[in-house]
Amino acid sequence: MDTKYWTKYRLDRLYKDWDPKVLTDLKEKITKSNWRLGYHIQTDTGLLNDPNGFSYFNNQWHLFYQAFPYGGVHGLKSWTHMVSDDLVNWNNVNKSMVPDRYNDRHGCYSGSAINVNDKLFLIYTGNVFEDDDEYRRHPYQNGAWMDKDNNITKLSDPLIDDAPTGITGHFRDPQILKHGDYYYAILGAQTIDNEGEILTYRSKNVDKGWEFYKKMDLGHDNLGYMTECPNLGFVDGKVVLIFCPQGADDTKFSYDNIHPNAYIVADDFDWENMKLINPSAMHQVDEGFDFYATQLLNAPDGRLLSSTWIGLPDTEYLSDDEGWEGSLTMVRELHIKDGRLIQTPVKENDSLVKESVDVSEGMKLDKQSLIKFDVEDGKDNSMLIESDDSYLKLSFDKDSHKLTLTRKNVGEDPENRTILLGSSRFNNCSVYFDNTVFEMYINDGQRTMTGTFFHDGKNLTLNWDNLDNMKVNRLNNIGINE
């Protein structure tokens, strides 16, 4: 980040005080980028991070994302609003929820949504930094109503006006759920002893009367120094809790990214005691390079769906210098099998698939491609996407049963992420490639690896070793936010 330009004054400047020419110039600059995407939700300008408000309302899918439109930096956050009829083709309704009052003065941060009486209710964290010697963070949990014309009206008063006793100003990311007579809000928190927790509030009225209920019992204490983005989902007779335990002990829960995205599967959930029943071990949701802040939706059609930021906090990306950063995963459908999470792109994404292309070693790869292959058993295997001074390589060692993903971004050193498959075989893989992001679904979605890949913007080639049934299809460029 250019700290000389991105002063505190610019990072905190209200949107109404920006010269419109800044966005015009930024859009013109971004049109020259070789790194833009074809079928993933990406930001028009500036920064995209956490998905928010994932919901089905008024016969459409709704998905918001946290945004700062004036540069590829974490400035004053708002919610950009996307809608879709099919979970694939998304349109910006151009009615963002922006910080415009005291209780969200320093940003509209993450939250969720729920359909209530033909309106959509939004709940989100508004941060205010008190102007004193310590520049203290004061979190407000705020509410808003959205009508069928996508007009958002914020409540005048916060739903929850402060963190509870014993909790610091790091208190945020409410997921709203309805169970029985109550609405519940599940929030990430940090104690004054710098330990992560998940807290719950409840009310019989969605827009008032919220009171602290209980600390959630996960059956685990390795929640780091702050637990972000907690989400409960229900599928296949099981419960899954997905969350981001910043600073979790990596000797007890292995991860390589600066911050992990974790999940726990449980047999049931005790709503009275806010407790996971017979919880599993903690696992990574995704084992790639860039994956954070998963948001779940138990959809009206019975599916458990997810959307995730392809990015990480406290990380700079090569596209920042072009004035933009961030994208969201394709919407995934989640299931539980043998106590583990299974993730696959929703079936609607089949509409992206175009004609197959002839495959051969060293073939040119389109920037929007689907690569599918099976694996020859008992051999070392690999797949390589390569350009000048950049490559993405997936390799499997038959002796160690270790699957390694190596990424070399242009101008940077190579880095690795690994999966130890143990007694499991490496059977197959589907790679959804979209120029500078990728999603790999391994063994029919039993494991996934997601991330960014910044290449030189020129020719991309595909090579492989000891792979069967290699198939490549072009994928539609649907022009999201172009």
Q: Token pair for residue 398?
A: 């038959």
Is residue 49 a contact partner of residue 378, using CB atoms and an 8 Å limit? no
> In 10 A of CB 469, how many CB atoms?
10
Q: Token pair for residue 144?
A: 């808003």
Q: What angle do CA 47, 284, 189 make, to 5 degrees?
A: 65
Would you give the DSSP letter of residue 158?
-
> In 10 A of CB 42, how many CB atoms?
25
Query: What is the C-alpha separation between 382 and 314, in angstroms, rounded?
Result: 31
Name the catalytic one among 2, 19, 50, 256: 50
CA quadruple 156, 176, 260, 311: dihedral sign: negative
Query: What is the C-alpha separation between 85 and 91, in angstroms, rounded?
Result: 10
Query: What is the C-alpha separation between 299 and 290, in angstroms, rounded?
Result: 26
Give the dihedral of Cα atoms 279, 285, 287, 290; nearest 10 deg.
-140
Host H or E run for residue 456: none
Instruction: Bin 468: left if φ > 0, else alpha if -120 < ψ < 50, else beta.
Output: beta
Q: What angle do CA 260, 264, 269 make, to 5 degrees?
A: 140
Query: What is the C-alpha separation between 48 and 437, in angstroms, rounded?
Result: 14
Using DSSP, state whether 117 is helix, strand or coil: coil
Q: Which residues 6+ apart lie within 8 Å of 250 measured at CB?
A: none
How far is CA 256 from each of CA 157, 194, 261, 263, 406, rounded to the nearest angstrom? 41, 22, 11, 16, 13
Is residue 361 a contact partner of residue 463, using CB atoms and an 8 Å limit? yes
Query: What is the C-alpha separation between 381 and 231, in angstroms, rounded?
Result: 36
Q: Is 149 a catalytic residue?
A: no
Q: Token pair for residue 268?
A: 């049931």
Using DSSP, state whether 65 is helix, strand or coil: strand
Q: What angle do CA 105, 110, 113 make, to 5 degrees?
A: 110
Using DSSP, state whether 463 is helix, strand or coil: strand
Residue type, 94: N
Query: What is the C-alpha separation between 164 and 223, in angstroms, rounded?
Result: 19
Q: Token pair for residue 157?
A: 């008063």
How far is CA 76 from each of CA 95, 143, 349, 387, rounded to the nearest angstrom? 17, 18, 33, 36
Q: Hey, which residues are catalytic here?
A: 50
